Amino acid sequence: MRPNTIAAYGRDLGRYRNFCAAAGVADIRGVGQPLVEDFLVSLAVDSEQGSALSPTSAARTLAAVRGLHGFAVAEGWRTTDPTAQVAPPRTAARLPKAIPLADVEALIAAAAAGEPPLGLRDAALVEVLYGTGARISEVVALDVDDLPLAESVLMLRGKGDKERLVPMGRHAAAAIDAYLIRGRPALSARGKASPALFLNARGARLTRQSGWGVLRRVAQRAQLEVEVSPHTLRHSFATHMLDGGADVRVVQELLGHASVTTTQIYTLVTAQRLAEEYATSHPRAR
């Protein structure tokens, strides 16, 4: 365990000890579930520094307290664990970050402006990531043989080696065609024969980390003020699809989510945007 983690747990247990002492409980055997619940409530109201703890920090504190009482039971100091039925605080759903379509287009333009053959590869990479909503690991794992012979459909292998068919838009298909004709042959000639669709500057398969690097460099050239990663394009794909009226079940299938509840977080993004638009546009919203 890292020193910073140990120090954090020490502070958490010190806070718990002080709370129990203030409640008149000096022995761990005298702690009951109501006292633990009161302590958890107190974390959301006030801390020793005079400010409430975030749900994440409160959950970490409860984990430390659970560890303490679990140790007490294991050592025979008491027979029951008063934290066993205490649920940790729920953390707010972290909304995915999506960028506007204008930023996506600026990203694609900046990629295409790069010197060939890498510029052609980068443009195709960005187009495929945004055009399919695929994970970067799925895209760099693509082989040339995975490309469709006729229809613009990609076969992606997701988590658990589950395969799914994902349609490509004409922009992504055109970018791949340009890369295959004028970009990939030059990169392939620099290394050993590789079946990979996306190659690095040495002619080997592009890695997941290298794909992140491509996005960072292209975003800098596009002078975007927000941080852009492959997952940013995946989030943007889902958000823009739902904004355009796509059914959440369809987006679930395209993203390769095992459960629709994972996909539904994107509906929170669009609902939040609607609320913001209403608040700024409707004459009686404020």
User: Per the residue annotation, which of 69, 121, 135, 240 is the catalytic one?
Assistant: 135
* pLDDT tens profile 106-146: 999 999 999 999 999 999 999 999 999 999 999 999 999 88
**Domains of the chain: residue spans and CATH:** 3-74 (no CATH), 101-278 (1.10.443.10)
Q: Is 266 a catalytic residue?
A: yes
171 a catalytic residue: no
195, two tokens: 């079946």
Please report the pLDDT score of residue 149 as a whole number: 57
More confident residue, 218 or 283: 218
Q: What are phi and psi of 61, to 5 degrees?
A: -65, -45
Could you tell me the pLDDT band of residue 87, with boundaries at 50, 70 and 90?
A: confident
| Pick from 8-17, 94-103, 170-179, 258-267: least confident | 258-267
Least confident of 11-15, 159-163, 174-178: 159-163
The percent of residues in the chain predicted with pLDDT above 70, rounded, is: 91
Residue 69 falls in the annotated catalytic set:
no
Q: Mean of the per-residue pLDDT values for the chain?
A: 88
Question: Tokens standing for 114?
Answer: 């790069």
Is residue 267 scored above 60 in pLDDT? yes
Q: What is the pLDDT of residue 83?
A: 93
Judged against a pLDDT cut of 60, whether residue 13 lies above it is answered with: yes
Closest by CA position to 65, among listed 140, 118, 14: 14
User: Are the beta carbons of 114 and 222 closer than 8 angstroms?
Assistant: no
Query: Which of the given ranges, 86-95, 161-170, 178-187, has the highest pLDDT on average?
Result: 178-187
Task: From the candidates 66, 205, 208, 231, give the one annotated as an active-site residue.
Answer: 231
Q: What is the pLDDT of residue 240?
A: 94
What pLDDT shows up at residue 57?
A: 83
Provide the token pair at 126: 């960005």
Residue-level pLDDT at 42 = 85
Q: Write down the pLDDT at residue 89.
A: 74
Catalytic residue among 9, 16, 130, 266: 266
What pTM did the predictor assign? 0.67
Q: pLDDT confidence of 48, banded at 50, 70, 90?
A: very low
Give the number of other CB atoms < 10 A from CB of residue 204: 16
Query: Over the stretch 171-216, which tens digit does the pLDDT of each residue have?
Result: 999 999 999 999 999 999 999 999 999 999 999 999 999 999 999 9
Q: What is the DSSP track for 77-136? A: S-SS-TTTTPPPPPPPP-PPP---HHHHHHHHHHHHTSPTTHHHHHHHHHHHHHHH---H
Q: 56-59: long-range contacts at Cβ-Cβ below 8 A with a sequence spacing of 24 or more?
A: 56/91, 58/88, 58/89, 59/88, 59/89, 59/91
Residue 41: count other Cβ atoms within 10 Å of its Cβ: 11
Catalytic status, residue 135: yes
Query: Which of 69, 121, 240, 257 is an active site residue?
Result: 257
The answer to whether 81 and 33 are in contact (CB under 8 A) is: no
Q: What is the pLDDT of residues 64-73, one digit of tens each?
A: 999 999 999 9
Assess whether 159 carries a catalytic annotation. Answer: yes
At residue 151, the pLDDT reads 65
The full DSSP string for the chain is --HHHHHHHHHHHHHHHHHHHHTT--SGGG--HHHHHHHHHHHHH--TTSSPPPHHHHHHHHHHHHHHHHHHHHTTS-SS-TTTTPPPPPPPP-PPP---HHHHHHHHHHHHTSPTTHHHHHHHHHHHHHHH---HHHHHT-BGGGS-SSSSEEEEE-GGG-EEEEE--HHHHHHHHHHHHHTHHHHHTTSS---BSSB-TTSSBPPHHHHHHHHHHHHHHTT-SS---HHHHHHHHHHHHHHTT--HHHHHHHHT-SSHHHHTHHHHHHHHHHHHHHHHH-TT--
Catalytic residue among 11, 159, 162, 273: 159
Per-residue pLDDT tens digits for 217-256: 999 999 998 889 999 999 999 999 999 999 998 999 999 9
94 is a catalytic site residue: no
